[in-house]
Structure formats: structure tokens, C-alpha cells
Amino acid sequence: MSAAMLDPVLAHIDAHIDQTTEHLFSLLRIPSISTDPAYGQDCDKAADWLVEDLKSIGFDASKRATPGHPMVIAHAGSEGPHVLFYGHYDVQPVDPLDLWDRSPFEPTLEQGDLGPVIRARGASDDKGQLMTFIEACRAWKAVHGTLPGKISLFFEGEEESGSPSLVPFMRENAKELTADVAMICDTGLFGDDTPGIVSRLRGLLGEELTITGPSKDLHSGMYGGPAMNPARVLAKIIAALHDDQGRITVPGFYDGVPELPPEIAAQWEGLNFDQEGFLGQVDLSDLAGEQGRSALEMIWSRPTCEVNGIWSGYTGAGFKTVLPSQAHAKISFRLVGQQDPHVIRENFRAMVRALLPADCSAAFKSHGASAGSEMSIDNPAFDAARAALSDEWPNPAAFVGCGGSIPIAGHFKSILGMDAMLIGFARDNDAIHSPNEKYDLRSFHKGIRSWARILHRLYG
Amino acid sequence: MSAAMLDPVLAHIDAHIDQTTEHLFSLLRIPSISTDPAYGQDCDKAADWLVEDLKSIGFDASKRATPGHPMVIAHAGSEGPHVLFYGHYDVQPVDPLDLWDRSPFEPTLEQGDLGPVIRARGASDDKGQLMTFIEACRAWKAVHGTLPGKISLFFEGEEESGSPSLVPFMRENAKELTADVAMICDTGLFGDDTPGIVSRLRGLLGEELTITGPSKDLHSGMYGGPAMNPARVLAKIIAALHDDQGRITVPGFYDGVPELPPEIAAQWEGLNFDQEGFLGQVDLSDLAGEQGRSALEMIWSRPTCEVNGIWSGYTGAGFKTVLPSQAHAKISFRLVGQQDPHVIRENFRAMVRALLPADCSAAFKSHGASAGSEMSIDNPAFDAARAALSDEWPNPAAFVGCGGSIPIAGHFKSILGMDAMLIGFARDNDAIHSPNEKYDLRSFHKGIRSWARILHRLYG
């Protein structure tokens, strides 16, 4: 791995960053909003743009039809580890349009807190991020005359609308899509100077609960007292889901929850996570949750149970003396390690039923059940990526967790049997899904350089 | 009190019931919906109709302007106890109109489960009921040539829209409106064969509670665990409001709650209230609430705490992994005896604040605070009315309670210092406030006869 292979690539990237940015603008100008049928042709156009662009740097690229928006698949090379890179070319809707300072599909460079930012819908999520990888390939090709190794690309156009075609497409094309490792560029930096490689994702179990007491809404003056109030029953159930140490009381809940390996604990310790700032930015000062755990540990490695919604009775203006017939809650569990979502679902439902008083019944609706996943970071690509990122950024990269759930990573594991590495350069203030989305030019530029370094570590 | 005075009046009522019903129809044809400004003129027209009708039987009647719909005031006589009779001439809106079998303001006689029923908006609530009293006066006048004694009438036209003009008007006209006792015809029979005189009303304290945790809605994947979830805090608070015996835990809550006098307890026992049927009609089988109390005791003589509404987070279709910033509840207390609503409000708020974890705050909104009231049934009018009703109906009348709150009765007590007797002939299936409202012809006919008997007991 000689610096002679890498340095001219980095120099090329630096020398061409203006052209590269202008090139990204032409993709950003295509309003590829996947949820709105009015933009169907634009999604198609974005897919075509990518196919042409990939062909121009030597990929065997093609658009593949699905019942929804098309996939873009590209392959090149035969040497070294086989890497599959994933991104999505569709973007979020733009309304409310009047909150945008300028048109969402007329990208511009503006001044941001860390230098220039690229302002447009999709700049960060995910066009700007996916182009960091393509631009690294382009620079490599320009300098060395060939792409670095066995690389496939896989772009979808339905990520912002629930990816209905994704799983069937992956199943049908499993052989073509399976590689040694997947790389996904759709996440953020851990800190402005600290890249992270997401190597553990929490699973998500969603339950909707309806408690029914009396068969219709009653007058609380008439039936208040004699009749059981399902809103009170629901409150009792929710209150019973945690003990006074913040632990979840569903029977067997912690079966399969591992303690953090000491080396990962040490890495996280080293990140000097600003717990006070993290809470302070939403005006909290106290760490809730399981006692004796740090915030990072809670978010990345501990399971949770949260109430995402409750409703019952009269919720409008003024007052109505109703004794409601039903009370509802949406409750979700984030899962880690070997926790089995199906077992937890059954145990949760049994616990709720056991807490019901006479005359109340419970009905349940499932809203997804996915287990947590942890990548096998002994795949050498993980260490290569970590070293490469540590070379590019002021602070070393860490294997971090992700509190949320990223379905694509789970699909790569469960359908194609491969681990996924999530590396991204977005910042928390990128306003993805919101008006005035942006991507820092620094993220874009150092992102391209990061991928060049990773390619060099893998193939150089 | 000779039967010679009463019998011809009853005979006159029986002989003229068809004309009397037709006369009620002409009032029912006026669409005096008070909440809808489009019907303002109709409210006025209904008031005029009453003024003319009362004048025609010898009352000194007049319409009195208010900032809203007018009041109707009438006086007659100078002998005997001074009775003030109250009713309201406005009616509820009629939508959804397509659920009516025929036009709500074209009254008809139809067959019901206990004989003919008068079908129209306002038939039961309250035009049919208020006319029972006027028709008794009319029959008395027709038979005896004069009204029976010192009677005033007081009708408002805003009862179905919150009575905004009522209290100011009562204050301004206190002297004119004050009598020895008020009689209100806006309630129901205890059973189809058993009249009741409502002599105790529960008060109502309404509170709206907002718990705030983080300063904005958060992603539950990011903040679930470290951040306190206000929906969980709200659930804990609601769960803490009752102990496992069904008693309310707000400090000092039972101060001023009296035990039932044995003679009233015996009367209620004698009513043979069908507790099973009462619960069964809303598909309940178990008596919730304070252990060791009967349903009637709970509804009429015990205080309650009910959750009338809760809401927090995402309540739409599907799922959203939000950790809400706020959680809300509408909570009401029914009060009896000497319970002080203002003290209970403060104690409730203090209890909530004491249950808050760090980082959560509570805000409160008041939705009314009225104490319970118990009429002094030693006023001889109460015994007279009870005896008269017992003469008319198959079963003896009882002094009953009312689980709901009837503000007008409280106003008579607090503003004019007089007790109110609530006597009414509505049935539970009258569909007041609903499509296809009706009033049994039997209720109307026996209601008129009941008032004639009461007038006879008071003045005969």
C-alpha cells in the first residue's frame, strides 16, 4: 500500500472539487421525489443520469425495472475484495415550500458554520453522499486509468417511500448483489472531526394496543365510578412497563442482551461524547433510562421501551365529560443482541392481558418486528475503513452504534448474508427531510477523499 | 286539600290531550337552535310564542333582551308559596340530518315501546317538558278561572350553547327571580313507573394537564432511553390517582364527603335499582369504583376522578417512532357534600408536581369548578311534590341524586339562595342531543297531570 497510489488521487480530488460540485448540482436539479406520482418521470431521469455517469467512468451500469421506481446496478473490476456500495437517488418531498429560502431544486453554494454548504433537497440525503463514492472512483480512474477493484453499486429510488420493491428485488437478484461486504453512505459523522462506522443497529418492535372497557363512550356523570375507565387501565399498564431503576419489566425482556465488549466500551469512552450538550439541546439536564448506563451505551447498545403515542376520549378544545370506551397506545421496543422480537411481542401481550381488570379487553396490532444486528467487524474491510477514515479526519474513527433502525443493513444481512458498514459524512444540522436541506462542502470533499483512502486500503 | 279542586283539572287534562299535543307541535315547529347564528330569528320567535301563550292564560309575561337570545319571564298570583319554574326553549343542532327518519322540525306522533311518542328535535329536551308545567297551569285556569297561586316562570334560550347570558341576567334580576323554591323540568324519570325528585347534584372540577419533557419531539431511536418520555410520566400520574380499593388518592380529597343519611339510603334501597342491567347495557358486568359501595351510591353520593381524555405523540395511522415532547390529559372530579373544588384543585396540582421526575414540568388549565349541592328537603314543597308524584305514578317517588352536573340548580342556590327541585319525565331512550329525538306521549300526559297534582298540593 504505497502512498504513491493514493496521493495523486487525493490531489486530483482537491484540484477538481469545483467541477465535482457542479456535477453534483446537475443531479440535484432533478426533482426525484419518490412518494409523489407526479415526479415519476424525474425518478426515472435520475436513474438514467446515474447509469450514464457510471458508464462514463467504466462501470457496466444498467437501469432495472421494478413495480415502482427503477434500481440502478453497476459492476466493475475483478480484483480484491468484492464491495457492494448502496445509496438512494430519490429524495423527500419539499413541502412546506414556503419555508425554503430558495427553490429546493436549484442548488447553490452558501456560507455555513463550517464553510460553504451545498443547499438543495437531496444534497445530504442521499445524492451528495452517494456521489462521494462515485467521485472517489472517478478520481481513481482519472489518475490510474482503471477502477481500483471489484466494485458493485446498487442504487434504489424508493428509500423515502418505504422501499416497497427493495426486498423482492434483492431476493430475485441475490446472486448478482452478494459481495464480501456492503458499504452504505446514508449516515452521519459522529462529530464534526470524528467519523464513525456504524457496526451495530438496534432492531425495532412496534405494537399498537387498544383497551376496551364499556362498549360505547359514556357520560362520566352517569357511569364515572361504576364503570371501568380504559384510559386509567392503559395508564396503569404503561406505568408498569418500567421499574424504578428504568429497567423494562416485560418478562424475559433482557434475555439475549449482551454486555458491551471492553474494547468497544473503551472506544466509546474515548469519543468523549458530550452527554450534557446532547441533553441540553432539547432542554433536558438529567439522564433518564436505565440507571448506571451512559447515554451512548443506552442509545447504541441497550434495549428500550417507548410510548410513541397515546390517545383516548376527548382531545379537542374545551372539556367533554366523557368516559371513553377505548384507550390506545403505540408502543415500540428497540432491540439489541439476541433479543427475539417475536418472543418479546408475545411476552408483552401476555403481560398486558395479565394487568387487565375484569370487563376490559385488549387488542393488538403489529407494526413491524426486526431484531438488532451487530456486524462481524473481524471482516478485514472494517479495519481498513477505520484506518482510512482515521487518516483523513482530525480524530480517529470509531465503531459506533446507531440508535435508530436502518432496514437496508438488516436486509443485506438477512437476505444476502453480508455485513454492512455504514459510513457517512452528514451533520446533525443538515436538515434532511426538512426545508433548506444542505450538505457541507467539507463533508462532500472530505467524504470523497475518505472513500479514496478506503479504496486504497482495500485495493491499493 | 280537597279532591274536588284537583279531579276536574285532571279530567280537563285528559279530555284535551289531543289539542294540547297539537299545541306543543306548533312550538316544536320553530327551529330554535341556539348555537347556530342562522337560527337567531327562530330563537326569538320561540320566545315570542311563549310570551303570547303565557299571556293567554293570565300570566304577566315579557321577553327580556340579553346580549344573546332573550329570556322569557312571567308572573302570576300572590297566594301561597312562591314557585319559580325554569325551562329552556332552545334546542340542540340536528346534524347529522341524514340520520333522522323525517324532518326534525315537523313533529309527528309515532308508535314507541310504551305507546305513542312525539318525534321532533326538542320534544323531550326541553320544549315538551317545559310545556307540561304550562299545560297544568292552563288546565287549572280553564277549570277554576284563575291560576293556582304565586307562580313565576323563567325560560332561557341558550341552555344548549353554554348559557352565557344566564348568570349576568340572574344577578341583574335577582330580586324579581327569587322565590321560595325553584322547580326545573329538564331531567328524567327514575324508572318508567317511578318518578324521582333530584335533590342532590354532584359538582364538577375540570383540569387539563400538560406534561412537558424535552423541548421538542424527538426521534425515539436517538433519544429513547436517555430522555424522559412525558407520556410515561403522565401514565404514572394517572395510575397514582386511585388506590387499589378504588379510592382517590389526592390528599384531603375525602374531606367534607358525608355518609348517606339512613332514610335516604333506605329510599334508594327501595328503588331496586337494576345494577346488572345498568352495567349490562354497556357490556360491563363488574362494578368498578370504590369497593363496598353500590352503583347508585357511587353515582349519586360519592365523588369520583375520571380521565376524560389523554393524548400524546403520534396518534394517526401506522407508526412513527417519535418520543413526544408533551403529554396531555383532561381529568375531572365529581364532587359531593362539602368538598371544596378550589382546595381539591390545589391539592391535585401539588400531587402532580410531586410526582414529576427531574426535567419534566406540568402546566394546568382550569375547566370549571363547582361544588356539589344538596337541597334542603325540609322545605315543605319537597314533601308536597313527592306525595303528588307518588299519587300519579305506579311507584312512589324518591329523592334521588344526579350523577351529572346541572349548572342552573347551582346558580339558583348560589346567586338567588333558593333550593331547586328537579322533576322531569324524560326517558333514557329519548335520544336527546341525537337524531330522532322523541318524548313519550305518556311522559307528556302524565307530566302535565303530575304538575297539576303538585300545584294542588302546594296551593289547593
Kindly state whether residues A232 and A102 are assigned to the same domain.
Answer: no
Contact B239 A242 (CB under 8 A): no
Contacts of B321 in chain A (CB under 8 A): 204, 206, 306, 308, 332, 404-405
The alpha-carbon gap from A404 to the nearest alpha carbon of chain B, in Å, equals 4
A436 domain-assigned: yes
State the Cα–Cα distance between residues B26 and B23, nearest whole angstrom: 5
Within 8 A by CB and 6+ apart from B131, the residues are B20, B23, B24, B27, B444
SS3 content of chain B, % helix, strand, coil (to 5): 40, 25, 35
> Is the residue at A278 inside a domain?
no
pLDDT at A48 over 90: yes
CA-to-CA separations, B94 to A459, B128, B186, B192, in angstroms, rounded: 78, 17, 19, 26
* Chain A residues closer than 8 Å to B299 by CB: 221-226
Query: Could you tell me what percent of chain B has a pLDDT over 90?
Result: 83
Asked whether residue A61 falls in the same domain as residue A176, the answer is yes
How many CB atoms lie under 10 A from the CB of residue B30? 22
Eight-class DSSP state of A159: G
3-class SS at B309? strand
Q: How many CB atoms lie within 10 A of CB A216?
A: 11
Contact (CB<8Å) B288/A327? no
Chain A residue with the nearest C-alpha to that of B316: A309
Instruction: Report the residue of chain A nearest B206, measured CA to CA.
Output: A319
Domain boundary residue among B277, B297, B317? B297
Q: What are phi and psi of B211, to 5 degrees?
A: -100, 130
Closest chain A residue by Cα to residue B368: A319
Pair (A191, A238) in one structural domain: no
Distance between CA atoms of residues A219 and A146, nearest Å: 77
DSSP 8-class letter at A421: E
Average pLDDT rounded to a whole number, residues B308-337: 93
Helix (H, G, I), strand (E, B) or coil at A395: coil
A31 and A86 in a single domain? The answer is yes
Contact B282 A215 (CB under 8 A): yes
Q: Cα separation of A280 and A295, whole Å?
A: 13
Within a domain: A295: no
* Residue B373 pLDDT: 86
Say how many domains are in chain A: 2
Sheet of A115-119, strands arranged across: A108-112, A115-119, A438-440
Residues of chain B found within 8 Å of residue A231, distances taken between Cβ atoms: 238, 307, 309-310
Q: Which residue of B has its CA nearest to A401?
A: B222
Residue A224's φ and ψ, nearest 5 degrees, are -65, 125
In sign, the C-alpha dihedral spanning A403, A407, A408, A414 is: positive
Helix H or strand E segment including B100: none
**Do residues B213 and B292 share a domain?**
no
Please report which helix (H) or strand (E) contains residue B314, including its range. none
Give the minimum alpha-carbon distance from B75 to chain A in angstroms, rounded to a whole number: 34
The reply to whether residue A359 touches residue B310, judged by beta carbons under 8 angstroms, is no
Query: Buried b / exposed e across A229-258, counting CB within 10 Å, b at 16+?
Result: bbbbbbbbbbbbbbeeebebebeebeebee
From B272, B297, B322, the end of a domain falls on B297
What cell does B110 get? 309515532
Q: Does A338 reside within a domain?
A: yes
Of B278, B306, B321, the CB nearest to A308: B321
**In this structure, are B366 and B376 located in the same domain?**
no
- Axis-axis angle for helices B3-15, B441-459 (nearest 10): 160
- Does some domain include residue A287? no
Q: For A63-77, A154-168, A184-198, B398-412, which range has the lowest pLDDT when averaged over its residues?
A: B398-412
Q: CA-CA distance, B91 to B30, in Å (whole number)? A: 10
**Residues A320-370: tens digit of each pLDDT:** 888 999 999 999 999 999 999 999 999 999 999 999 999 999 999 999 888
Asked whether residue A349 falls in the same domain as residue A422, the answer is no
Are A42 and A124 within one domain?
yes
pLDDT value of position A152: 98
Q: Report CA A210 to chain centroid distance, whole Å.
A: 29
Average pLDDT (B89-113) is: 94
Cis preceding linkage at B96, omega within 30:
yes
Instruction: Reduce the DSSP state of residue B424 to 3 states and report it.
Output: coil
pLDDT band at B402 (very low <50, low <70, confident <90, very high): confident
**Domain interval for residue B269:** 260-297
Instruction: State whether A306 and B314 contact (CB < 8 Å).
Output: no
Last residue in a domain, options B370, B405, B422:
B370
- Using a CB-CB cut-off of 8 Å, the residues of chain B touching A402 are 221
C-alpha cell at B244: 387499589
Q: Look at residue A135 and give its three-state secondary structure.
A: helix
**Contact between A286 and B204 using a beta-carbon 8 Å cutoff:** no
- Distance (Å, rounded) from C-alpha A85 to C-alpha A249? 40
CB contact under 8 A, A231 and B238: yes
pLDDT digits (tens, 9 = 90+) for B179-236: 999 999 999 999 999 999 998 989 899 999 999 999 988 888 889 889 999 999 999 9
CA angle A373, A192, A294 (to 5 degrees): 50
Give yes or no: residues B362 and B280 share one domain. Answer: no
Q: Which of B220, B282, B330 sits opposite A308 (nearest CB)?
A: B220
> In the prediction, which pLDDT does A1 show?
56
Which residue of A lies nearest to B243 if distances are taken between CA atoms?
A: A236
Q: CATH number of the domain at A322, please.
A: 3.30.70.360
The verdict on residue A88 lying in a domain is yes
Q: How far is A306 from chain B (nearest CA, A)?
A: 6
| Same domain as A7, residue A150 | yes
Angle between helix B3-15 and helix B127-144 axes, rounded to 10 deg = 120
Residue A228 and residue B304: Cβ atoms within 8 Å? no
In a domain, A29, yes or no: yes
- Measured from the Cβ of residue A444, the count of other Cβ atoms closer than 10 Å reads 25
Q: DSSP assignment, residue A243?
A: -
Q: What is the pLDDT of residue A187?
A: 93
Q: Is there a contact between B332 and A220 if contact means CB atoms under 8 Å apart?
A: yes
- Residue to mutate among A212, A307, A365, A422, with most B CBs inside 10 A, is A307
Whether residue A53 is found in the same domain as residue A193: yes
Instruction: Give the CATH number, domain containing residue B37.
Output: 3.40.630.10
Residue A176 CB partners (closer than 8 Å, separation 6+): A73, A152
Place of cell 313519550: B440
Closest residue of A to B311, CA-based? A311
In a domain, A296, yes or no: no
**How high does pLDDT run on average in chain B?**
94
Residues B38 and B146 in one domain: yes
Is A220 in contact with B322 (Cβ distance < 8 A)?
no
Instruction: Give the model's pLDDT for residue B1.
Output: 56
From the number of C-beta atoms within 10 Å of its C-beta (0-12, 13-18, 19+), residue B280 rates as exposed
For A308, which of B228, B279, B320 is closest by C-beta distance?
Answer: B320
Residue type, B266: A
> Considering chain A, what percentage of its residues have pLDDT values greater than 70?
100
> Around Cβ B60, how many Cβ atoms within 10 Å?
11
Contact call for B318 and A367, based on CB within 8 A: yes
- A231-257 pLDDT per residue, tens: 999 999 999 999 999 999 999 999 999
CB atoms within 10 A of CB B256: 17
Q: How many whole angstroms separate alpha carbon B179 and alpha carbon B198?
A: 19
DSSP line for A93-104: ---SGGGSSS-T
- Could you tell me whether strands A398-402 and A196-201 are parallel, antiparallel, or unpaired per DSSP bridges? parallel
Cβ-defined contact of A231 to B311 (cutoff 8 Å) = no
What integer is the mean pLDDT of A121-138?
A: 98
